[in-house]
Structure formats: structure tokens, C-alpha cells
Amino acid sequence: MARTLIFPGLNGSGEGHWQQYWAQDDATALIVQQRDWERPVLDEWAARAEAALVACGEAFIVAHSLGCLLAARLADRPVARRIKGALLVAPCDLERTERLHPGQIEFADMPARELPFSTLVVGSLDDHYMSFERLRHYASLWKSDLIHLGHAGHINVASGFGRWQDGYDLVKRLKTQSDRPALATLAAS
């Protein structure tokens, strides 16, 4: 059975965050720990994420904010084949996030290519880390299904998201999508 790897964003997912509850509620879930949550460096974060993927063989990713960009960046690395799917919740716009947290983040550019694994992007109409228009743009580039939760802010503790039961249903949906053979595979058979 594939594990669930949880990728928090900037400053980690503190007490009361839905990702913390997810790790408690799902026996297959593991939060990928980073050396420095306050000063993320893409190469360091990616190395830890890659090590976690190698250790578990294959996994579904449940990411939040900057963790979504980390998951998307793994698409360019050999470990991408180990990712069965990714739930990308409230991805941040890197440019906007760097303006809000100057000098803290070394994450290069926004990932802008199609992701080679099934993805669901979940966002809101009033996230201060990414406008809905930009969210729709990146979901399209990534070839991701997009779900918006209305006016739900950054889908974190500050916007009222503690234990987030609906998230579990979204991962079930993602798992169902990833179980279907790819169209290219069907065409080849």
C-alpha cells in the first residue's frame, strides 16, 4: 500500500493545522520534516522529499502552500515515478510569497510544466498567497483538476481549517484517478 507523504509549507504546519491532524488520523501518513522551516531552500527541501519517497517506495503527496511547489518541482526529478498522485492545497504564488516574506525563500521560479502524476489542486477565491486567476493558470499548466472552496482564505488554521474531513474524500478521489490506466497506455495496447 502506498504511503501518504505530507509536505507542509513555509514555517511548517503547526499545532491545529489540518496536516497535523492528517498525520494523526492516517496510519500511512508521514510528515516530511525539513531542517529549516523558516528559510526554505529548494535543493534542501527536495533532497528530504526525495529521501522520503525512496524510503517508502511510492506515495501519494498531500501538500500545502510552498509544499505544493515542492511537489511540482519533483516532477523534474527521477523520483517522480514514485509519486502516485498529489493533493495540492492552497499553492502559493512564489512571487507574492517572496514579497510577503522577503529574503526567506530560495525556491527559484514557479513550476510551470505538466505534472507527470495525477493531481488535484484545491484553492480559494480569497487566498492572500495566490489570486484565483493565478491559481487557475497554474492548475491548467500542471494539467490538474481544480477545486475551489469559495472564500476559504489560505486553507489553514487562520482561516478555520483544523481537522479537515473533506480533504480525506479528495484523496480518495485522487486515488481513484491514479488507479485508472493512462490514455497513452490504453492507446498502446
Distance set, CA 15 to CA 24, 125, 165 (Å): 12, 25, 17
> For residue range 96-124, what is the model confidence (pLDDT) as tens digits?
999 999 999 999 899 999 999 999 999 99
The CATH number that applies at residue 22 is 3.40.50.1820
The amino acid sitting at 186 is L
For residue 182, the Cα-to-chain-centroid distance in whole angstroms is 21
Please report the pLDDT score of residue 179 as a whole number: 64
Domain carrying residue 65: 3-188
**Residue 183 vs residue 64, higher pLDDT:** 64
Asked whether the predicted pLDDT for residue 88 surpasses 80, the reply is yes
pLDDT of 187 reads 32
Per-residue pLDDT reduced to its tens digit, 155-187: 999 999 999 999 999 999 998 887 654 433 333
The total number of structural domains that make up the chain: 1
